Structure 1
Amino acid sequence: MPAATADSHPPSPPISSGILVYDGDCGFCTATARWVERRLSNDCRVIPSQQADLDALGLTDEAVTRSAWWICPDGTRWDDHRSIAGALGAMGGPWPAVGRLMTLGPINPLARGVYRLVANNRYRIRWPGATRCDRR
């Protein structure tokens, strides 16, 4: 089955701020989401997929199992490395530039490949401050 992308789903209803949806059962993902949350503006939200209203966000269980998602204020959804780029774009400091860089030219497929490698092995990753989950 082809991977779900922002282009294959119609936008969800408008939301007031960006939302990062991540795998709350993954220690690495949770630690990373906490890092992101500390740097986002107060109007952005970070939600574990297990607590998100997936229907309202236009996401499926399969989609959130495969990838983190960034939901833009206009309802557009970005998955894979673009979810990270979207979250970085909503931060202050140098992070928006880093997020834009991840989606440019030859860096785009490289960033996607690295994201897939990490996502596919996330339950094996030991990370400071993260609990290891041997779910897969």
Structure 2
Amino acid sequence: MNSRGPRPVLLYDGDCAFCSSSVRFAERRLDPSGWEAVPFQFADLDALAAFTDGQVSPYRAEHEVLWITPARRVYGGAQAVARLLLRTRRPGWSLLGAAMTVPPLSVLAAGVYRLVAANRDRMPGGTPTCALPPAARAAARARQAPAGAASAVGAASASAGAASASAEKPDVTEE
């Protein structure tokens, strides 16, 4: 937890190279001290579902980026991106985020988000794996892992367990 209190959490698909690249871009260009990015694969989705009164689900986390506030509000897809942009201290990005929340731009933003999400394997930073359903991506990742990666997978599982333990009390604040 930071000294300013809990922060919103951006929950994204850590198996998707395009999604991970987009989050790294946001961490470099936007002020990441006001929010935290967490791959849904390392989050305790049951605890987040309980925290948000069922607004977070594995299905939803697999199909759209989620912005979760400490006030238990959950925004998905384009509105999650808008909330992230609103959270930054950079005026141009904040203005874009604000524009994405009002009709008709919110409708346009949702359409663009769905178009990008459906074609994320073709986007810069995307890979063919991004087009696969989540279960198939995990299987493909396991097939591509080198022989010595089993211990790394175990270590990642242990750190994921620690991450999901901290997800029981999400470190989030209202926008």
Report the alpha carbon displacement of residue 73 of structure 1 after superposing the two structures with TM.
2.6
The yes-or-no answer on 1:80 pairing with 2:71 is: no
Cross-structure match for 2:89: 92
Cross-structure match for 1:132: 127
- Give 1:68's match in structure 2, choosing from 60, 65, 69: 65
Residue pair 1:18, 1:90 contacting (<8 A) in 2 also = no
What is the rounded CA distance, in whole Å, between the counterparts of 1:37 and 1:69 in structure 2? 16
Cross-structure match for 2:40: 49
**Unaligned segments of structure 1, at least 5 residues:** 1-14
Cross-structure match for 1:11: none
Q: Partner of 1:42: helix, strand, or coil?
A: helix
Cross-structure match for 1:17: 7
Segments ≥4 residues shifted beyond 2 Å: none
What amino acid sits opposite 1:86 in the alignment?
R
Report the alpha carbon displacement of residue 37 of structure 1 after superposing the two structures with TM.
2.0
Cross-structure match for 2:114: 116
Q: Partner of 2:10: helix, strand, or coil?
A: strand
1:52-100 deviations in Å (ceiling 9; x for gaps)? 1112222211001110000123120000100100111111112222111
1:19-49 deviations in Å (ceiling 9; x for gaps)? 1011111111101111122323424210111
Q: Partner of 2:33: helix, strand, or coil?
A: coil
Q: Considering fraction of residues, name the structure with more helix.
A: 2
Cross-structure match for 1:36: 26
Q: 1:101 to 1:132 in 2, by over 3 A?
A: same
Report the alpha carbon displacement of residue 123 of structure 1 after superposing the two structures with TM.
2.4
Report the alpha carbon displacement of residue 131 of structure 1 after superposing the two structures with TM.
5.5
Tell which has more relative contact order, 1 or 2 (C-alpha 8 A, sep 6+).
2
Larger Rg: 2
Q: Partner of 1:17: helix, strand, or coil?
A: coil
Q: 1:81 to 1:45 in 2, by over 3 A?
A: same
The alignment's C-alpha RMSD in Å is 1.7
Instruction: Tell which deviates more after alignment, 74-83 or 92-101.
Output: 92-101
